[in-house]
Structure 1
Amino acid sequence: MCAAMTAVTSVPEHAFPSPPEPRLTPAEIIARAEAIAPTLIGRQAETERRTFYAQDTHEEFARAGFYRILVPRRYGGYEFGTDTFLRVAMALARGCPSTGWMYLFGAAHALAVATLFDERAQAELFSSGDFICPATVAPSGTAERTADGWVINGVWSYASGSPYATHFIGHTLVPQADGQPPAPLLFIAPRDQWKRLDDWGQQLGLKGSGSHSVAIDNGRVPDHFTRGFHMSQVTVTEGTPGRALHGNPEYGGGPLSFMLLELGALAVGMAKGALDAYEDLMLTRTTIYPPIVLRVEDPDFQLRYGEATGMISTAEAALLNGIQQWRDTCAEGPEAFTREQEWRLATISREVVRLCWRAVEGELFPTAGSSSVRHGDRIERVWRDMSTLHSHAGYAVVLKSMANRELTKARFNIE
């Protein structure tokens, strides 16, 4: 069900540093996430107040191996692959949406680093094994050239996953000569080159997602920790450094489509959490009007529950199939990962989010009862968190509008 990445490498097996649990399997690490998720439910209020999940939760995630799922075996990671990673994130989001969000956007970018950077950079970036690296896509700040790299200055907002991060990925624009438009620069700043600002927690939802701003004051970033492009515009059809280095096709997949599938995984996890809470109400609350029976015995509540379950189950099936299509495209070879394929996969994630929202906003939230959607109640919190997901640029801008246009242009070869 959850096979690990296929790792075929030219490096002898004995050259790999061993991960903490060499015999750990994808199924076992997913089971760990599913076991941890229920313990997160009762801690959601404290997570929101703190604005990120607790130190002991972070340590539990580290012991469970969650921060090494996408890190290559060559550097002491598990290299379990995208399917395993998104199933773990989905399970955590089911228990606590903020925790799932913070975990996913902190740990996911190991895949991009292992795909886009050369061996020298990867050896340094992955040297500690655990890798937590939030990323922002909006260019900000400045970059000044030095003899061996760049001096970076600025503030980058919405760095989800920053509280326990080991690195940060940002983008800036570098002025060009002769009236040319500024060129994008992607950079990775180690933790000692930036500070996290205390500016998160006042939004409607996802208050505990650790989406603080990152500030860099004369931070120094070596040349090999940079790439001259924007992550969302990378073309992988001619191969990637990671595919060649690791012999693993998943380190040659499209970063854009994977980033957008992540939103679908979080939406499914959140919606399943709301359905769990609704099930509890079905079994413990009675109807308002005669005949007074448990909600689970009432035809109208049965209808609502069935409608929501069908939508969420369909969304999960579409997401898992989309992930499999992403992996299959990787396996076909670099030339298969066209822009058309990237945008088509992105539209699957959009429909996943829409289905999950229809289930929560249209079926579960309005029929849970006002006494069950008070501030801090589980369904109320999921409603807030999913509402905030809709304001994320990846959904509100990219998936809702840009994906349609770009897919059509790619399909019909329109510039």
Structure 2
Amino acid sequence: MEASGGVAVLTGVRDLLPVLRERAQETEDRRALSAETVKSLAETGFFRLLQPARFGGFEAHPLTFLRGVRELASACGSTGWVASVIGVHNWQLALFPDQAQQDVWADDPGTRMSSSYAPTGTIRAVDGGYRVDGRWSFSSGCDHADWVLLGGIVPPGDDGTPADFRTFLLPAADYTIEDVWHTVGLRGTGSNDIVVSDAFVPVHRSLSFNDTARCVCPGQELNTAPLYRIPYASIFSWAITTPIIGMAMGAYEAHVSYLKERVRASYVGVRAAEDPHSQVRAATAAGDLDAAWLALESDMGELMELAAAGQRLPMRLRLRVRRDQVRGTELAIGAVDRLFENSGGRALQTGTPIQRFWRDAHAGRVHAINDPERALSMFGRGEFGLPISDAMV
């Protein structure tokens, strides 16, 4: 089902790209994706790529999903970002107990979820579940979702139960959205605040990050595809970096097109494309983007091969995935910076794709999963034989 379905989805995504490019400025001005854009994405089947087959999903290889993300982000950074984070949630819900999956998808398998994982709210364990209260920020695409995934820390219990970092699944009736998204980059993502007032979350609608780190989750009893046996940190982290690579690719395409016509005033009529320094900058940017993507393909391919064979995923591979992911972000940011610097003053004009991709890529860079020191330090600890306690690996 995945092979033919995935190809058809990617074909549908590519057919959308010209329209998304035309809407990019409108999307930024609106500060959210339009209903038409989300509907078009849903019609391609994109959001079903990582969804379990028993709910009509494709159970696609993560690379199929990430290739679609890269394409979308190369046309419109905000659209690629929202598509990625909304789309990867179907993969995470597949790890929850079956009842949670039924709650969301039984009546409508096309139901979407947004998220905010930073544990900024208050969680109390009660009989049968948890009481959830507080405010969570940066929930991209929340206006186009009917459920939300929120991160929270359950305090240690009186019986000695240790603290637990969990994800909590809430329906739209249990929260409100506050429009606070006024930013310089990724303006079209509608990443607003989620506010919850003492909502009850039954125990089956929560999932421990410790379980996702161990790759042993309740949903795997019914969702047995290899896709659901890879680490949360591996797929989620690349779901954040891939849109940034896509934005840098969009900047590259726009830059090359622009420089083919640009004439440098300081060189008396010399076409910018004939400038050897411009040629070197373009080559360096292209090489960095290729390196970032090749690392992604290698890492994700190896993870899936081992998962399909039922083999254990070695810690060194998991650490390498996080290392390559943060390096992928760094390479993409370096590429888009180099291209922006080489584009001249006209690239500063409002509405031009170069400056929008530059702002969007830097906005994506500040996501916590892109902090290089954390991921690189973990890799270094592993290389030196020191213990790794971080769940985001």
* TM beyond 0.5: yes
Match status 1:388 vs 2:363:
yes
Aligned residue in 1 for 2:238 = 261
Matches within 5 A, 1:92-131: 92-114=72-94, 116-127=95-106, 128-131=108-111
Match status 1:311 vs 2:288:
yes
Offset, 1:341: 2.6
Going from structure 1 to structure 2, the CA distance change for 1:79 and 1:183 (only over 3 Å counts) comes to: closer
Match status 1:300 vs 2:281:
no
Aligned residue in 1 for 2:218 = 241
Match status 1:196 vs 2:177:
yes
For the residue of structure 2 that corresponds to 1:336, the secondary structure is: coil
Match status 1:409 vs 2:381:
yes
Contact 1:243–1:249 (CA under 8 A) maintained in structure 2: no
Aligned residue in 2 for 1:14 = none
Contact 2:306–2:312 (CA under 8 A) maintained in structure 1: yes
Going from structure 1 to structure 2, the CA distance change for 1:404 and 1:384 (only over 3 Å counts) comes to: same
Aligned residue in 1 for 2:319 = 343
For the residue of structure 2 that corresponds to 1:246, the secondary structure is: coil
Offset, 1:246: 2.6
**d(CA) in 1 for partners of 2:133, 2:52:** 31
Residue 18 (structure 2) aligned to one of 27, 33, 38: 38
**d(CA) in 2 for partners of 1:247, 1:183:** 26
Going from structure 1 to structure 2, the CA distance change for 1:319 and 1:373 (only over 3 Å counts) comes to: farther
**d(CA) in 1 for partners of 2:265, 2:234:** 46
For the residue of structure 1 that corresponds to 2:137, the secondary structure is: strand
**d(CA) in 1 for partners of 2:53, 2:160:** 45
Q: Structure 1: where are the runs of 5+ without partners?
A: 6-23
Offset, 1:58: 0.9
Offset, 1:174: 2.5
Instruction: Show structure 1 runs of 4+ deviating over 6 A.
Output: none
Residue 343 (structure 2) aligned to one of 368, 372, 377: 368
**d(CA) in 2 for partners of 1:216, 1:121:** 19
Going from structure 1 to structure 2, the CA distance change for 1:231 and 1:66 (only over 3 Å counts) comes to: farther
Offset, 1:342: 1.9
Tell me the TM-score normalised to structure 2 length. 0.90
Going from structure 1 to structure 2, the CA distance change for 1:151 and 1:307 (only over 3 Å counts) comes to: same
Offset, 1:376: 3.0
Identical columns (%): 27
Match status 1:56 vs 2:54:
no
Aligned residue in 2 for 1:359 = 335
Offset, 1:93: 0.5
Moved more, 285-294 or 316-325: 285-294
Aligned residue in 2 for 1:69 = 49
Offset, 1:88: 1.0
Q: What are the superposed Cα offsets for residues 107-142 of structure 1, whole Å, 9 maximum, x if unpaired? A: 21111221x222222222222112422222211222
Q: Structure 2: where are the runs of 5+ without partners?
A: 389-393
Count of aligned pairs between the two proteins: 385
Going from structure 1 to structure 2, the CA distance change for 1:198 and 1:290 (only over 3 Å counts) comes to: closer
**d(CA) in 2 for partners of 1:349, 1:172:** 25
Offset, 1:75: 1.0
Aligned residue in 1 for 2:250 = 273
**d(CA) in 2 for partners of 1:244, 1:143:** 27
Q: What are the superposed Cα offsets for residues 268-326 of structure 1, whole Å, 9 maximum, x if unpaired? A: 20111001111221222212244524333333332322222222222222222222123
Q: What are the superposed Cα offsets for residues 357-412 of structure 1, whole Å, 9 maximum, x if unpaired? A: 221112x111101112223321111111121222111112xxx1111222333441
